[in-house]
Structure 1
Amino acid sequence: MKFVDEVRIQVKAGDGGNGAVAFRREKYIDRGGPNGGDGGNGGSVIFVADPQLTTLLDYRYQQHHRARNGEGGMGNDCNGRSAEDLVLRVPVGTLLRDEATEEILADLSEAGQQVVACKGGRGGLGNMNFATSTRQTPRFAQDGTPGEERMLRLELKLLADVGLLGFPNAGKSTLISIVSRARPKIANYPFTTLVPNLGLVQYKDGLSFVMADIPGLIEGASDGVGLGHQFLRHVERCKVLVHLLDMGTESEDRDPLRDFDTLNQELAKYSEELSHKPQVVALNKLDLPHAQERVEPVTRALRERGIAVFPVSCATGLGMQPLLDAMAEVLFTGRTDKLHVEPPPKVRAQKKASAKKAPATKVAAKKAPAKKAPAKKASAKKSAVKKAPAKKSAVKKAPAKKASARKSAVKKAPAKKVVKKASAKKAPAKKSAAKKAPAKKASAARRRRS
């Protein structure tokens, strides 16, 4: 069966029937009144989550879905028949999204859950409903309302508890075939898995959980390289992710630690929430001789990061039980103690030293200018405060000198005026002397005449 997880469809609810315009025409009944019936309601479009379905293949080729219209009203007080609702069954985990507004209308995440996507139109009223004492023969009726119409995008997100992640040919399909009854295609070439696969894992004490295997991711998947990110939506609902590292790869451009970092970067590009989900790191293909040589350095490098690893061999079943126990503990208890380990003492000491040094340097870098700057400013302020009174005293003394100079000038100014006045007084004396001189000459002339 072909797996389809995203389709676009157009749905249209039925229109309501029109009301009827009719009058009674019976023998021996004079002036029969209106008896037009009401129209029937149109059918609605309803989506129902069906646990028996696993794909949206039915909607890939039939993209237009329309409910029936309601029947119109008839005479003799007969109402039209309402149309039946159109029920569309979709797999559990389907999202209904409005194509025009990108609004999520419903998330059908439970079996049997249903939602009305388009509501049918209401039937119109017949003329018998408009008869009154003043309008006894209404010759009009009400039309039915049209049903809703929408363009929807259906997105399927498989419901699984555990999601398998890894590069192509890392052993994800082999793992799900061992722990469950799923039978995906397994071959010795990349991108064997083209569609997600679900498997039910039977655990201890009657507990079980669903595991999802998605196609492998490679570097550049966010840009569409390989199969891209189109299948990562199927692990968004998972509570825990199992990250399989291929320890048996012989390619020169492949390295387990580099694959681990690359895949986590692709997860972060797709969804920040998905990148923070708990991860169980498993080192696969330990049955190969050259893979066992890489286990120790990879384990040591991941332990330095505080990540616990689970060496397994999906081909022989080695290490399956500890891996299942780690998954079940996260699923049923929510604890992630088994997923983390303490780094070695040297690494912890280095981290503590770097953690202590880094804040110290930062604090020193922040505090050094703060201490020196206030000291300089304080000394400058203190010297300014000390020198300021001197300046002020000088400023105060300067007016005193100016005032004394002004006062002395004011006092001396009258002296000059007095001198001027004295000279002014003396000047008339000279004039009087000048005047007296002719008087002497006149008296001498008189004497001579006499």
Structure 2
Amino acid sequence: MKTLIKNGYIVTKDNEMTKVDLWLENGIIKGIGQDFSELNFDQVYDAKNQLISPGLVDVHVHLREPGFTYKETISTGTKSAARGGYTTICAMPNLNPVPDTVEKFNEVVKIINEDAVVKVLQYAPITEELRSEILTDQAGLKAAGAFAFTNDGVGVQTAGTMFLAMEEAAKNNMAIVAHTEDESLLFDGVMHKGEISEKLGLPGIMSATESSQIARDLILAEETGVHYHVCHVSTKESVRIIRDAKKAGIHVTAEVAPHHLILADQQIPEDHGYWKMNPPLRGTDDREALIEGLLDGTIDCIATDHAPHGHEEKNQSFLKAPFGIVGSETAFPLIYTHFVETGRFTLEQVIDWMAIKPAEIFGLKVGTLNIGEPADVVVFDLETTEEIDDKKFASMGVNTPFSGWPVKGNTLLTFVDGKLVYRKED
């Protein structure tokens, strides 16, 4: 199949926009130029003078299948990703059953192969059942196709267990991806500890709950030499510790979620579950530290932590609702609107953080627009303003406080290996 995407613009290294057409064939990018008129194409798509971008790469999503299909399925979750411009996503293992053996892992991969419309890389857990102290068979799970190892959602509470896991991961040349949360410091907290938690009469979560475990893990990562990746960094202390670790030569990378870059606890208007996420929305000084961390390279990439839940379980108090916010369909428009349109970030930087860097730090052969590479391509509309409408989500989850927010940067077309997997309705 020979496909042409015409009348689009790409952003170049000097942050300038260059008009191009893209020739896709047999799953790869065959040509990037301005004149393919002599060729006969099977399909032609008009980019309408909008941005042609490499497909976005999200290293942190929850697809919920198997075990929690009332929240999301691999089918709906990957359609949601495609609608948001993501062509490669990495799925967390907090499932039921937990894919902690090769047999259970293969069952998840089977569903992915049958139902996914974008590329899905599946994480395996660090320990059996996520909560135990018993390490999984890392070598076997790597051979089965595990992307990396994580106990996302709960974290590894014992330093000795984390040390042994890192030793094994280093031996297998695999990354440890950490949800950092010292549960002994939680004290039943449900939101960031500060003025707003006091005002709402809700138990708070200290910043040290996150940063103290990052500090522990970084010492262990230095000892073992493992690639240690920190999930959803949220506090200024965490940024400082990671920055110092990078200066010390420790192999650490980190991600930040769009909601932590855009929102702070001061913006939480009421005790409602749509504002409850883990880590929680922090203070305005934390948010500024996260932005600075991205800009100076302390934080490597942006990841959504797309975490869908059923409406009824989220439509209640912080005290009862589960943690989590959906993000696949809102991430790029929110980041573009709130940072590129305002001049805080360049478009080149955003594409770097949302496509190129996440692929680079995990050694994935995706995330760029180059001849001969996979034809994972997205067209974004940078001109039209639309309100975020959860009724139009492809995800089963609508748990977001961003509904109704006006944004630019919505997806027009998404291609995976040259195949059209999403097209915005006219």
Check whether TM > 0.5: no
Q: Could you say which structure has the greater relative contact order, defined with CA pairs below 8 angstroms and 6 or more residues apart?
A: 2
The TM-score with structure 1 as length reference comes to 0.25
The structure that has the greater radius of gyration is 1
More helix by share: 1
